[in-house]
Amino acid sequence: DTGVSQDPRHKITKRGQNVTFRCDPISEHNRLYWYRQTLGQGPEFLTYFQNEAQLEKSRLLSDRFSAERPKGSFSTLEIQRTEQGDSAMYLCASSFTRDRRNEQFFGPGTRLTVL
């Protein structure tokens, strides 16, 4: 396994700007998850995909957030008109439903700072 990768690792932006993050899951993993982690808190679920289908979105995911996984491989998470409250670590994870491991593997995260 080459592991889950995320890009960029850090992003600083000004309020009102749009940002996009990318996640590359472990090869052959059919499920991909996005979580958000604010300072001093545990990760909170945002959305997840099976292949290219978005299965569920959390109520945390406002209309300014959109995620896609167009070919069932990498995924992008876009935040439009960023707000200071969007500052957080955005974590991506992936898993494979056809094995018995029942494990999600996490990437290193993208830390977003909105000034």
CA atoms of 58 and 44, how far apart (whole Å): 9
Residue 109 sits in the site that holds another protein (CB under 8 A): yes
Distance in Å from the first CA to the final CA of the chain: 36
Nearest to 28 by CA among 93, 96, 100: 96
Q: Is 25 in the site for another protein (CB under 8 A)?
A: no
Q: In this complex, which beta carbon is closest to another protein, that of residue 19 or of residue 93?
A: 93
Q: How far apart, in whole angstroms, are the C-alpha atoms of residue 5 and residue 9?
A: 9
Choose which of 27, 51, 56, 78 interacts with another protein (CB under 8 A): 56
Kindly list the residues in this chain that would bind another protein in the complex (CB under 8 A).
4, 31, 33, 35, 40-45, 48, 56, 58, 91, 93, 95-97, 101-109, 111
